[in-house]
Amino acid sequence: MYALSIAAASSDNVSKLLALLMGIAVFAAVFIGILLIASLFKGHLGEKIQAAAFVGPTILFIAIGLIYPAILTIRRAFYDGKFFDLSFGNARSRGKFVGFENFQALWTTPGLPGVFGNTLAWVILVPLVATSVGLIYAILVDRAKGEAVAKALIFLPMAISMVGATLIWKFVYYFVGDPTANQVGLINATLAKLGMSPIDFLGNAPLNTFSMIVIMIWIQAGFAMTVLSAAIKAIPDEIIEAANMDGVKSFQMFRFITLPSIRASVIVVLTTIAIATLKAFDIVQASSGGKLGDSVLANEFYTRSFVTQQPGLGAAIAIVIFVLVMPIIIFNVIQMRKDA
């Protein structure tokens, strides 16, 4: 009987896969047909029809993949219940309408206020430090011998997943609680050699939060360096040569020429890293799961939605993340328009 049930489940999965592939094939055939029909129209009307034929599927996918889930998330934030049905028709039967209780719980649930504090530390420190490190590095290696190798070394962490980077740094931070045992973590082994006491970097709050912030900075500094280095190289040589002829010193060159010239790129890097930091989940989850007073909003959203079975509270956290990201995006767009 067990073998028969396994076979039936496998057959059902194959049927679902075939149905999915068939649906994709039908959609592709319909899309190609629409494009062929649109290509038959000429003139101004034809251009509008062809544009609609290309843009239409994109808008449809955005509506299905982004707008509809966003509406469901907002709706879920006003309901309670362990088993909340995502469909509109079953929402009332599966969950209890609680109004703004989930948003009030963000400030009254034990541990959540600390999550906001941790997230604030991440959002302030990671963009500022990562951008500063990337900018300083880009200036130091600009037109230097071995510039390509030097840039590749700092950019390398960007090629590693956040989970992989966290595992690497867990070996760097590794702490052995037994005082008689040898420390195998890179930092603690070095401290032991120097006759100093080892430190539990990932086990004690708030040190664990700042230790994970270092991981994020290590990853994002390469991105900052790449963008800012390209912006520095785009500064016209005539401006730099004129400044050198006028006897402008290095710091003055940076303050009055380099920094104003790359201002737009600095803003883009800061805002991009800030948004990535607000969504940081992998590092915390791979380190401690946020169980040691080091959780952040993105990790707490996962925990409340899928671990503690509080989907309404998880949806409220997701909305808070969205609200925090929106001003950053709006500011970025405004600055880009000013510099355009």
**Which residue ranges in the chain fall short of pLDDT 70?**
1-13, 81-95, 339-340
Q: What does the pLDDT read at residue 57? A: 79
Report the C-alpha gap between 113 and 179 in whole angstroms: 35
Domains contained in the chain, number? 2
| Co-location of 26 and 79 in the same domain | yes
Q: For residue 264, how many other CB atoms are within 10 A of its CB?
A: 15
Distance set, CA 37 to CA 26, 235, 257, 301 (Å): 16, 48, 54, 46
Check which CATH number belongs to the domain holding 288 and give it. Answer: 1.10.3720.10
In a domain, 330, yes or no: no
Q: What does the pLDDT read at residue 171? A: 93
Parallel/antiparallel/unpaired status of strands 79-80 and 96-97: antiparallel
| Co-location of 211 and 299 in the same domain | yes
Report the C-alpha gap between 116 and 296 in whole angstroms: 7
> Is the pTM of the predicted complex or chain greater than 0.75?
yes
| Co-location of 191 and 273 in the same domain | yes
Q: What does the pLDDT read at residue 49? A: 75
| Co-location of 207 and 285 in the same domain | yes
| Co-location of 133 and 67 in the same domain | no
| Co-location of 193 and 231 in the same domain | yes
Q: What does the pLDDT read at residue 16? A: 74
Say which amino acid occupies 133: V
| Co-location of 147 and 210 in the same domain | yes
| Co-location of 166 and 24 in the same domain | no
Q: For residue 333, how many other CB atoms are within 10 A of its CB?
A: 11
Q: What does the pLDDT read at residue 82? A: 54
Give 51-64 pLDDT, tens digit per residue.
777 787 788 888 88
| Co-location of 77 and 115 in the same domain | no
| Co-location of 91 and 126 in the same domain | no
Host domain of residue 253: 109-309
For 134, residues 6+ apart whose C-beta sits below 8 A from its C-beta are: 154, 220, 221, 222, 223, 224, 225, 226, 227, 228, 269
